[in-house]
Structure 1
């Protein structure tokens, strides 16, 4: 089924509707989906996706792995991060969303929008939006997390925004070591440089990751880039 506009435009429409009518984002997303001919947003998102689903992507990740999840604004990186957490929780694992960007209501709206049912997963899901989020903070908070826990970090480029935090490269190396030691899976939501918009490529790739401070991207075991419902996957930082 052909949509009336690209999916990121539909998401912006839903966000504007949520603000204007003072309704939850997941309700606005479902309203937009019904206009497009789908009963709810999760069905629309599943129908238009030409790339890898969250369940397929999660199956590629092993305890100790780190995933870079990149997209331009409005192309579904936060939604995909929440879908990965929901898939992990469905299989009995723990899910953690650490954000320097979102508030709790945003995250719960995303979880509800994909059918995650926050109440059902209450004991398995943790949301943390402390201003202190950094590699040291994450290690401290997740030190007792069971093997296989999926932790989404929102987002990579904000980890060293506070001067007292280590440089970004050091934090990523520390988190990679911690993930391998504890058997956790880290998903880093990442910004994509606006220069990508000048390219003719259907999806961003490692060349497009916005890095105001240098990072060894080969520390990531897998990368997934999203654009207009497409997903491009790269392994071993290439």
Structure 2
């Protein structure tokens, strides 16, 4: 049980730091939690943490929100969430682990591709909006849709404050929608919420560090570090199946 407390603390630390700094660490958090809480149950343990950080983020970035962009983005993302909920209800723990590993590697591959190739194709409306759909599905199944959401929002040509605010509100709305769906799937209960509470100290510390040390972080080096660690986590998931 002590190991579980340590894992939850680090999950909260990483979640808080990622939300208030350079982001991109969502691919790493779920595999860490699954060391002590294998299978889809880990999704329910993490969701309250994401909602807490989302509320903190929208409180910090509440002035400039591109509501028309959200109005175009959310219907497709919500559709992706509802379809993924049916898929999530039909797979077992081993299949979930394989799916998560494949998803993590796919998100890393997408990031690498976009680093070295032009993104002009993303300006096509059907491509940009498909990012909303697949982002909703991946969010429901793996809590790892940050890269897809970012692709959609970056193509809307928003200034930085508006981008950050709109992204924070998008995550908050989608995570609130996922809450009753996770409850219906049996992944979220009072027991899992009580388990989530053990991550709160790490969440607070991580948010504080991320907020105050953002300017001292080298985003490029940090991005590569997260990619390497996430790749290792993905291959460990395959070894566990």
| More contact order relative to length (CA 8 Å, sep ≥ 6) | 2
Q: Same fold (TM over 0.5)?
A: no
TM-score, normalising length: structure 2: 0.29
Structure showing the higher strand proportion among its residues: 1
Structure showing the higher helix proportion among its residues: 2
